[in-house]
Each structure stands twice: as structure tokens, then as C-alpha cells.
Amino acid sequence: MSTDPSPILTQASPQSVVNNFSITVGTENGSGSQTSNLTLLRAFFKMGIPVSGKNLFPSNIQGLPTWYTIRLSKDGYIARSDTTEIVIAMNAKTFARDLALVEPGGVFFYDDDIKQPIQRKDITVYPMPVKQISVASDAPSNLRSYVANMVYVGVLAQIIQIDVDKICQALEFHFKGKQKPIDLNFNVVKSAMEWAAENLKKSDPFSVAPMDATSEFIMSSGNTAGALGSIYGGIQFAAWYPITPASSLAESLNQYLPKLRKDPKTNKNTFAVVQAEDELAAIGMAIGAGWGGLRSLTSTSGPGISLMSEYAGLAYFAEVPIVVWNVQRMGPSTGLPTRTSQGDINLTYYLGHGDTKHVVLLPGSVNECFEFGWKAFDLAETFQTPVFVLSDLDLGMNQWMTPPFAYPDKPIERGKVLWEEDLDKLEDWGRYLDLDGDGIPYRTVPGNRHQRSGYFTRGTGHDDYANYSEEPDQWVNNMDRLNQKFELARTAVPDAELFPNDGAKIGVIAFGSVDPAVKEAQDLLLSEEIAVDYLRLRALPITAKVREFVRAHERVYVVEMNRDGQMHQILTIEIPDCAMSLISLPQNDGLPLTATWIENAILNKERN
Amino acid sequence: MAATLSPKVNLVDLSKADYRGATTTLCQGCGHNSITSQIISACYDLSITPEDIVKFSGIGCSSKAPTYFLSRAFGFNGVHGRMPSLATGALFADTSLTGIGMSGDGDSASIGMGQFKHVMRRNLPLVYIIANNGVYGLTKGQFSATAEEGLNLKGQGQNQYMPIDIVWEAVISHATFVARSFAGDPKQVRELLKAALSHRGIAVLDIISPCVTFNNQDDSHHSYAWGRDHEVALHDLSYVPVAEEIMVDYDDGEAKEVTMHDGSRIMLRKVDKDYDPTDRANILCMLEDANRRQELLTGLIYIDTEQESLFDMYNLPDEALNRLTPDRIRPSRESIDEINALMF
């Protein structure tokens, strides 16, 4: 993505680097550094500079090393960067490692309480009297360690010229307008700025300057967006169980539903959210509600998906619409629960025993989390089947600049539901009777008082009228009909999005949060005179467009964040005639993928 | 005479046949069939419209039973031990419906123990029947978690473990209606079912329901013989619907009356003076004493009609959630700008 912005004001020397570098802050988790890091991120954003922030945090509450990386990119690249030009070291335990992280020519800020050797001569070093400034602030002693992190905000702001008003705006947002904490933090920022102005001599080339490249964007997280999208999709029931990195999706439902979904006349809730005892119950409740005719959702991550598999298989077989969000984290097992991954593709696509396969949506941006939030319900109810939305920790939990959420451009589609008056008109109705020949039967829901409305839903074999059956033909016919539905869904899911390059003979297929890195890699490869077409998958099963794309290219690299190349496996199965031209490029270290990794991986294959 | 030719009907003009289900495929003499016929009788007697009931079950012989009653009602046969979650979600769709959950000791006291306990603490309005036979029937005769220590079963040897007591578990998990009965005492089962159907909250019925094929030896605690010999009814129980007068006068202290949420009443006669069905601590002592004496204590063991039900906690509209039209579940077009403004 290139937004082609131009800096409005630049006073720096020709060697200066403006709005094009990365900052890494090393702190301890639980120390309140997240407030400082988000304040920086938001201040840059409000200055109009394209920016991204990644929280690289441990699975812990307090005391372990944690990092936050911010990338500023005048060209609009928002993937994580492999290099970091500015490092802020606040944690003695990672001091040496953080020091080594700085690119030659870069800058190292550090808490001067940390007495460790600094032997690098190729970087600029600024000490910060963190304790002195925070003690001198008017913060009560119990809050001093929290506001201490504002010291680096102030010192950095002074050295690289962050607009102080934007810092203030960011604090006002963070503290929801509460003046006391805003003042407390802002005063520390100001003291630190004053200290830096008096005591530090600027001797590095990095600075920021206002741009106009973010005014068309908002800043949000995928989990917030997914929750809001679901609310605009008419969600009526959610059941969930806490799990990183999915919890904030359900918590956002709890936050925004009361604002948006109280009946204006009666002030009653048009929704219900239940925190279940585990994921087994969460999906059971969601399936009950979906069967009952509610737009129903559960949200979880890989371990929860594992627990949900039996009920998911039943929902597929019994044709119950539900939406399941899988905000992926690194597995197997507990794995790296605070690190990102795309390792649940196969698990989710085929979740359940026997022949099961599911419609899976693959949002590639925060904005698309919103869009798929509502679209998932339409698909689930149209096809009477579970629909999974595969997000990940990076997309779900980090703040991203993203286009504003757009109001749904289609009316709510509830699918084939019969009420009393509909049944009066229908002579022959069976829950699994394919009246239209499209594989999608008509359903009734409890509360329908028609004498022919009731039926018995079961996980066991059944005939068209939902009666128990072990007849081989009936079993086969039913499974074939489910497949017919699935093939029809192939034509209805969000289609893949093409990002072409002139004359490209090779292609890249990717999906989800790696999108910005792939787009940037396209540009990097072009500068190496390798034109690459990029196709972003937005759903499974794959559409005709995906097949055509693969067939139209000599080689297609499948870039994804897992070990085994799971999407590559699926594509190989679905397009067997092109199996040899599909090349797997998986990477799975827990960190958001970078453009240079993709560039090098492709160069490596292309030049060998 | 014409009058004798037309079938007997209840207040909603339905005959008992309207409450039946498919022919049972359970073993002849199975206690579950007796429970099934009492469900049919109770619903018929109370003139409940079948479409107002929703049936739920898990996996096992007990969980097959919902097919054998109220075929006009919706039903959902879920996965093993996870009927409570299914019922929780489904009943949110239309809270005017009455849920009947049919489970067994294998389904609820082992894999389903978590969901069993949690549905108690949520006080979901649901008649939760556990057809308790101490054995896994569909898998042919293994010990269940309610089997008594020392029980000998063919091919299984002797049970080494202590049993789980469904009633105990329900009471300490804050269930608001807990009863125990015996499939061999159909009248009591029926009256308890009627009371349970009127309860606004979770109503647990632990019904000893002998498995005639795998666990009906005379000395088994879940057999017909043992039940007949050891049943001690806490009281003579009768259910009085809202519209009916109590026809019998009771002497002071001879009967206890419990008024249900809907105004109907449960009359408990011949009760022990010290028995108070609302005193949890005392009930646990009473159950412990009964166990020590090897008595099968039956009747309404605990009741709390005051506790909020799950649906009372959710500020739901009067009409069913599943009947809300699309315009009532999608926020207005104008609101999207406000939402975007709330982001940074």
C-alpha cells in the first residue's frame, strides 16, 4: 500500500530521516508501558503519519520482558519492520539485547538507573533520568512507577519533535477524558520534554513531521471491529469463555451492545451474552441459540476450537447456523499464547469427525473484521451451517489504522425460515427436505406454534423429515446434499482480491494479517525487477478466481504463518492439476511477518 | 352414547394421544419408559400445548427418550453431557417456552458434570430429569458414576469408587428445585413433574430408573426391588394448578404448602415436623442420615421460589428474541458515524 503522502514541513538536514523508521520499546509487562506506547502510536497517527504498532508481550501479568514496536512509514507500509532504528531501554534484564537491536546509525534511549556498559560507537545514546523526573512529578508514590513510562514519551517527543498537542489528544482518548490521570501523565511528559530540551543535544537524524496521510483512517483492533460488525449484523446471542487473544472480542460485545442494541421504545436488550464455564459449553449454548433462530456467535482461540470440535461437527451435520471466531495464537498445545500465528487453518476448515468441512472467512484487515462480522451471520443463516472467522492475535489485539467501518450495504439475510403462516401454505415440509433443489432445506425454530413446526434435531442419521434412520441411501443422500450446499457456498463467500503487477509471471497467495507485508514485499521485489501478482484469499472454500489465478501463473508462492504450509496443502488438494506450481513459504516464529522475510524467501527460490 | 365415543380431551382440547411420541425402542420394563409416560400424563393433565415445550437431551439411553414423548414439540438431541448448554442457548430464543431436559447418570454425572453444575448456578428455567440407573446401557453395562461402591456387574467386576449423589450435587450448586423419585412410584414422579413444570428456575429430578438389562439385581441400589424395599417418601405430594381449589382440609401441621411462581401450589402432607424444604444445610444432614440408613429418600427435597431465574437477569423484551424483525436487531445507519468517532 502506498498512500503517496508528502511531508508538509521538514527542517532537518539532507541526511535526516523523517517519518520513516521503527521504534522498539523494551519494558517489563505490568508496568503501565502499554499506556505510553499507545500514546506514542496515537500521537503519530494524529500527526497524519502512517503508523503501525505491535505489542510483543509475554504470557504473564507482571514482571517479564515485553516489547512494543512502532513503525512510521511515510510510504504507508504498516507491516512490522525487521529493523529498528530507535530503541528505548527501560528494562535492565533485556538491556544488552535491546542495545544490540539498534540499527547502525540508530538511537538508543535508556533509563539511567540501569548501570550497564554501552560499548557501541555506531549509534547515538541518550540517557533518561526516569526516576528523577517521576519522583519530581506530582504523582502519588503508588503511581510513580506507572507514570515513569511517560518519561520516555516526553524525552522521545523532544528529540524527534512529536507534536505535544497530539500527545495530549492521545492521553485524553486513553483516559476517556478523565482530567486527573490526563494531567498526571501529561505533566510527566512535559517535565521530560523540558529536561531533554535543557540537557540533551540532538545528534541523530531521526524526526517526525506532520503529514496528511491518516485523516481517512480510524484506529481500532480486529477484535473490537469483529464485535462491532457482529452487532451491526444483528447478533442476538453470544457465549464465550476467556482466552487470549480472543477475550477482547466478547468484552467488546459487552461494551458496545448496551449502547447500540437496546430497544429504543422499551429499553430492553435485543441480545444476550453469557460467559460460559468452558468452550464446550460456549459452543453448546451458541448452537442452542442458533437452532432457536437467534443470530448466534462464540469467540475463542485454538485450544477452544479443539474443545468445540464435537459440537461443531454436530452443527454441520444438523445444519445449525452459528458464527465462530477463532482469533489464532501459536500452537500446538498452550504454545505461545501471546504470539500470533495462522496455524489453525486445517483444524478449523475440517473441524469435526467424519466428513466435515466448513465455510471459513479470512479477514485481512481490521476493517474487514467489521465487514465479516456481519457477513458471517448472513452466510451462516443462508447456508444453515457454522461459519468460522479466522483472525489472529496480531489483527485481533493490536491497534491498526484502518478505513472507517462502513454500514452494511446489504439487508439482513435470515435464510429459509418458516413461520406459522408459511407452514399453512406448505403441504409437504420436512426439516431436511430439499424443496428448492439447491441443497438448502427450510427450517422452523422453537416458538413456532404451528402443529407441523416441531421436529427432532439429532446428531444421528436421519431422513428428510428428521426421523432417525440408518438407511445407507438416506445417509449418502444427506451427506451429498451437505456437499452440494458447500459447493454453493463456494460461489457466495467473499471473493479473493487481486493486486496485480504488470507482466508478472509469478504469483503470491496469502491471507489475513500478513497482507501488509505481502504488499510491501511486492514493491521490494519490483525494485529487484521481479514482478509478482498477489491474490489475497478472503474465504474458504476457494472460489473459481483462485483456481484461475493459480493456473495463470508459472509459480505461485503461498505465504502463511505456520510450519506445515496448511493453506498450501488445501490449495494443492483443491487444484491438483497445479500442485507442482504451488510453492509453500511458511514462517512461524510468533512475530508478525515482515516484508523483507517474504522478499528474501521469494528471491531465494527465484534465484536458485 | 356419543359422549363416550369421542376421546377424552383436556382444557386445550387435546387428547392424551396428542402428547405421545414415537414408539419406544428402549428395553421392555426400562424405567425410562415409565418416566416418559408420566411426562405425557403430566403435560396432558396440565393442558400444556405440546408446541410450548422444547425437549433436550445428551447421549445415552435416557437421551433417546425425548423421541418417545411429545412428538409435536421441538427437540434437540445434542452431544454427550452437554445438554445443559444447548438448552441454555435455545431457551433464550423464546423464554415463553418450557424446557424439558432428559439426561442420565452417565450423561450428567461424568462427562456432563461441569455443565450440570453450571446450569444450576445460572438457574436456567428447565426441568432437568436424570434417569438414574447406575450403569451405562447403550455401551452395554459399564459402571456409571452414581453406581454404589461394591456393586458387582457382569463382566465389570466390583465397583471400587464412591458414588456421586445427584441430589447432593444439585443442592450445593444452588439448584432451586431438587427432587428425587423412583420410576416404580409413577404417581410421585407425575406430581413432581407437574411441580417442576411450574417452577421458574432449574428443577432437578433425580429419578431412580432401573436398567432391566444390566443393573436390576435385587441388591443393586438402582433396581426395582431395592427401590421398592428402601423407598422412604418424605411426604405425600400433590400439585394444585392455579385454577383449582384445594378440596381437602388439613389439620394444622399436617401439611406444608409451597406456592410456585405462577401461583400454583404444592401440598406436602405427612411431613416430618423438622423438615423444611428451604433449609439447605439441614437437607444435607437429612440426606446423609438417609444414606447411612440405606434409605432411598424421595420427594421434593429442596425448593427456593425466590431466586431470580437466568432470564430475569437479562432485561429481555416481552416478545421472543427470535421473532424480532431485522430492523430491530441492526443499529441505525446514523449510529455508524458515532461508532467511528469513538475509535481513535
Segment A486-519, tens digit of pLDDT: 999 999 999 999 999 999 999 999 999 999 999 9
> Ramachandran region of residue A32, left (φ > 0), alpha (ψ -120 to 50) or beta?
left
Radius of gyration of chain B (CA): 21
The CATH superfamily assigned to B7-318 is Thiamin diphosphate (ThDP)-binding fold, Pyr/PP domains (3.40.50.970)
Sign of the CA dihedral with A261 first, then A265, A267, and A273 last: negative
Q: Which of B92, B115, B331 sits opposite A237 (nearest CB)?
A: B92
- Cα separation, B162 vs A300, in Å, equals 36
**What are the tens digits of pLDDT across the range A369-381?**
999 999 999 999 9
Q: Which of A286, A296, A457 sits opposite B76 (nearest CB)?
A: A457
**What are the tens digits of pLDDT across the range B187-233?**
999 999 999 999 999 999 999 999 999 999 999 999 999 999 999 99
From residue A127, alpha-carbon distances to A116, A158, A321, A544 in Å are 12, 13, 58, 58
- Cα separation, A593 vs A81, in Å, equals 9
- Predicted pLDDT of residue B276: 85
A274-288: b or e for each residue (b if 16 or more CB lie within 10 Å)?
Answer: bebbbbbbbbbbbbb
Q: Which of B84, B114, B315 sits opposite A268 (nearest CB)?
A: B315
Local confidence band at A50 (pLDDT 50, 70, 90 cut-offs): very high
Do residues B287 and B297 make contact, with C-beta atoms less than 8 angstroms apart?
yes
Tell me whether residues A445 and B322 touch, CB distance under 8 A: yes
Tell me whether residues B336 and A406 touch, CB distance under 8 A: yes
> Of A490 and B261, which is predicted with more confidence?
A490
Selected for mutation to probe chain A from B54, B59, B79, B335 (highest A CB count within 10 Å) is: B79
User: Closest by alpha carbon to B227, among B127, B295, B151?
Assistant: B295
Residue type, A202: K
Radius of gyration of chain A (CA): 26
Tell me whether residues B114 and A291 touch, CB distance under 8 A: no
Q: Which of B115, B315, B331 sits opposite A277 (nearest CB)?
A: B115
Average pLDDT of the residues in B111-126: 98
Q: Which of B56, B90, B118 sits opposite A289 (nearest CB)?
A: B90
Task: Provide the grid cell at A197.
Answer: 530540551
Mean per-residue pLDDT over chain B, rounded: 93
CB pairs under 8 A between A and B: 218
Maximum Cα–Cα distance across chain A: 88
Helices (H), A320-462: 345-349, 366-383, 393-397, 420-425
In sequence order, which residues have a C-beta less than 8 Å from that of residue B314 and are 6 or more positions away? A269, A272, B92
Q: Which helix (H) or strand (E) holds A179?
A: helix A179-199
- How far from chain centre, in Å, is Cα A548? 28
Average pLDDT of the residues in A335-363: 97
Count helices and strands (H / E) in chain A: 19, 23
Average pLDDT of the residues in B177-188: 96
Q: Which of B75, B84, B333 sits opposite A456 (nearest CB)?
A: B75
Smallest Cα distance from A497 to chain B, Å = 25
Average pLDDT of the residues in B148-157: 95
In sequence order, which residues have a C-beta less than 8 Å from that of residue B199 and are 6 or more positions away? B125, B127, B176, B177, B260, B261, B303, B305
In sequence order, which residues have a C-beta less than 8 Å from that of residue A370 and are 6 or more positions away? A225, A226, A228, A229, A232, A405, A406
- Predicted pLDDT of residue B9: 95
Selected for mutation to probe chain B from A270, A423, A451 (highest B CB count within 10 Å) is: A270
Nearest CA in chain B to A448: B51
- Predicted pLDDT of residue B246: 67
- Predicted pLDDT of residue B4: 59
Q: Which of A283, A447, A460 sits opposite B323 (nearest CB)?
A: A447
Tell me whether residues A284 and B51 touch, CB distance under 8 A: no
- Predicted pLDDT of residue B244: 76
Q: Which of B75, B89, B339 sits opposite A287 (nearest CB)?
A: B89
Find the Cα–Cα–Cα–Cα dihedral B41, B45, B48, B49, rounded to 10°. 70
Average pLDDT of the residues in B84-111: 97
Q: Which of A263, A285, A455 sits opposite B328 (nearest CB)?
A: A263
- Cα separation, A298 vs A309, in Å, equals 13
Tell me whether residues A277 and B335 touch, CB distance under 8 A: no
Classified as helix, coil or strand, B69 is: strand
User: Closest by alpha carbon to A18, among A215, A162, A189?
Assistant: A162
Tell me whether residues B96 and A311 touch, CB distance under 8 A: no
> Of B336 and A8, which is predicted with more confidence?
B336
The answer on pLDDT for A11 being more than 50 is no
Provide the chain A residues 155-214 that lie in CB contact (below 8 A) with chain B.
Answer: 170, 173
Tell me whether residues A260 and B77 touch, CB distance under 8 A: no
Residue B20 carries which DSSP code?
Answer: B
Q: Name which of A262-276, A537-551, B240-254 the model is least confident about.
A: B240-254
> Of B247 and B263, which is predicted with more confidence?
B263
Tell me whether residues B330 and A408 touch, CB distance under 8 A: yes
Classified as helix, coil or strand, A209 is: coil
Tell me whether residues B114 and A278 touch, CB distance under 8 A: yes
Mean per-residue pLDDT over chain A, rounded: 95
Tell me whether residues B90 and A288 touch, CB distance under 8 A: yes
Residue type, A382: T
- Which residues of chain B are within 8 Å of residue A218 when distances are taken between CB atoms? 340, 343-344
Tell me whether residues A270 and B333 touch, CB distance under 8 A: no
Provide the chain A residues 23-62 that lie in CB contact (below 8 A) with chain B.
Answer: 42, 45-46
Q: Name which of A6-20, A498-512, B57-71, B184-198 the model is least confident about.
A: A6-20
The Cα angle at residue B135 between residues B233 and B109, in degrees rounded to 5: 75
CATH 3.40.920.10 fits A17-207, yes or no: yes
- Which residues of chain A are within 8 Å of residue B333 when distances are taken between CB atoms? 407
Selected for mutation to probe chain B from A458, A462, A467, A468 (highest B CB count within 10 Å) is: A458
Task: Provide the grid cell at B335.
Answer: 449510529
User: How many CA atoms are closer than 13 Å to the CA of A374, on its beta-carbon side?
Assistant: 22
Task: Provide the grid cell at A295.
Answer: 443470530
- Which residues of chain B are within 8 Å of residue A286 when distances are taken between CB atoms? 89
Beta strands in A63-139, from DSSP E residues, in sequence order: 65-73, 84-89, 102-111, 124-128
User: How many CA atoms are closer than 13 Å to the CA of A604, on its beta-carbon side?
Assistant: 10
Tell me whether residues B91 and A292 touch, CB distance under 8 A: yes
Provide the chain A residues 357-396 that lie in CB contact (below 8 A) with chain B.
Answer: none
- Which residues of chain B are within 8 Å of residue A235 when distances are taken between CB atoms? 329
**What are the tens digits of pLDDT across the range A54-73?**
999 888 888 889 999 999 99
Tell me whether residues B92 and A289 touch, CB distance under 8 A: yes
- Predicted pLDDT of residue A1: 42
CATH 3.40.50.920 fits A497-606, yes or no: yes
Sheet containing A582-586: order of strands: A497-499, A532-537, A506-511, A555-560, A582-586
- Which residues of chain A are within 8 Å of residue B100 when distances are taken between CB atoms? none
Provide the chain A residues 439-458 that lie in CB contact (below 8 A) with chain B.
Answer: 444-451, 453-458
Residue A85 carries which DSSP code?
Answer: E
DSSP string, B116-178: HHHHHHHT-SEEEEEEE-SEETTTTSEE-TTSPTT-EETTTEE--SPPP-HHHHHHHTT-SEE
Smallest Cα distance from B319 to chain A, Å = 10
Whether the CB of A260 is below 8 Å from some CB of chain B: the reply is yes
**What are the tens digits of pLDDT across the range A278-293?**
999 999 999 999 999 9
- Cα separation, A261 vs B203, in Å, equals 32
**What are the tens digits of pLDDT across the range A384-428?**
999 999 999 999 999 999 999 999 999 999 999 999 999 999 999
The answer on pLDDT for B156 being more than 80 is yes
Residue A425 carries which DSSP code?
Answer: H
- Which residues of chain B are within 8 Å of residue A457 when distances are taken between CB atoms? 74-77
- Predicted pLDDT of residue A351: 98
The answer on pLDDT for B248 being more than 70 is no
- Predicted pLDDT of residue B252: 62
Smallest Cα distance from B142 to chain A, Å = 22
- Cα separation, B92 vs A390, in Å, equals 27
Strand pairing class (A456-458; B74-77): parallel
- Predicted pLDDT of residue A140: 87
Local confidence band at A12 (pLDDT 50, 70, 90 cut-offs): very low
The CATH superfamily assigned to A220-402 is Thiamin diphosphate (ThDP)-binding fold, Pyr/PP domains (3.40.50.970)
% pLDDT > 70, chain A: 98
Tell me whether residues A446 and B94 touch, CB distance under 8 A: yes
Smallest Cα distance from A180 to chain B, Å = 20
Do residues A401 and A214 make contact, with C-beta atoms less than 8 angstroms apart?
yes
